[in-house]
Chain A
Amino acid sequence: SQTIHQWPATLVQPVGSPLSLECTVEGTSNPNLYWYRQAAGRGLQLLFYSVGIGQISSEVPQNLSASRPQDRQFILSSKKLLLSDSGFYLCAWSLVLAGEGSEQYFGPGTRLTVT
């Protein structure tokens, strides 16, 4: 069965420091990968998605970037964190982008607090 991991689980970082969050998927090949952010309140916002190694699509302009160095690894980064980057970051995967098999499954998340 497929499993998705995220680390770290929690992170407290000062403003201006760099960021690297990692997501890995086990049990499947060539998954579609997604990064979401859940800010205070409830809504989830898609930040990036990737259909393959080195292929990243950005949904919103912001202080963050994403990379996919390996088939089942997705990394969210920032060179200098802002207070507004605080939130709960969730990684997700799906077999395909649309149609049957496009159901998305989420990892446990990383809670980031920028101080």
Chain B
Amino acid sequence: GIQVEQSPPDLILQEGANSTLRCNFSDSVNNLQWFHQNPWGQLINLFYIPSGTKQNGRLSATTVATERYSLLYISSSQTTDSGVYFCAARGGSNYKLTFGKGTLLTVNP
């Protein structure tokens, strides 16, 4: 099945800084999603982005399907951005959404 790798595994920022999280996948995808898991465990949908670029406030994401990677940009980070960010992808006829191991983001005041 498809492999999903995220980097970096951990990231510590000062409030106001920008960051880029990366997701590499091993095969062509028909579904790619970015999630934020808050401290209570809730997975919050950030982007559905199998290709192209999307923006939502301070967050934006780009997926380059031909090169098999996706990037999540966080600008002007806030302490509430802290948590684990997951990339998940599905490829081919497989209905399974495969998750990466996540990036643990800590934003300090």
In angstroms, Cα B42 to Cα A111, docked, is: 11
Partner-B contacts on A (CB < 8 A): 32, 34, 38, 41-46, 49, 57, 59, 88, 90, 97-99, 102-106, 108-109, 111
Docked-complex contact B84 and A106, CB < 8 angstroms: no
Residue of B nearest to A34 (CB): B97
Q: How near does chain A come to B40, taking the closest CB pair, in angstroms?
A: 7
**Supplied contacts A43-B99, A103-B33, A105-B45, 9 more A-B pairs, CB within 8 Å:** A38-B41, A42-B101, A57-B95, A88-B41, A97-B95, A99-B30, A106-B35, A108-B40, A108-B41
Which chain B residues lie closer than 8 Å to A106 at the CB level?
A: 35, 42-43, 45
Which chain A residues lie closer than 8 Å to B30 at the CB level?
A: 98-99, 102
In angstroms, Cα B102 to Cα A109, docked, is: 18
Residue of B nearest to A88 (CB): B41
**Majority-rule SS of B interface residues:** strand
In angstroms, Cα B98 to Cα A45, docked, is: 7
Known: A44-B86, A46-B96, A108-B40. A103 touches B102 (CB 8 A): no
Docked-complex contact B42 and A109, CB < 8 angstroms: yes
Q: How many A-B residue pairs have CB under 8 A?
A: 56
Q: How near does chain B come to A8, taking the closest CB pair, in angstroms?
A: 14
B90 within 8 Å of A by Cβ? Answer: yes
In angstroms, Cα B100 to Cα A98, docked, is: 19
Which chain B residues lie closer than 8 Å to A98 at the CB level?
A: 30-31, 90, 93, 95
Docked-complex contact B101 and A43, CB < 8 angstroms: yes
Q: How near does chain B come to A21, taking the closest CB pair, in angstroms?
A: 14
Q: How near does chain A come to B108, taking the closest CB pair, in angstroms?
A: 21
Q: How near does chain A come to B105, taking the closest CB pair, in angstroms?
A: 12
In angstroms, Cα B39 to Cα A88, docked, is: 13
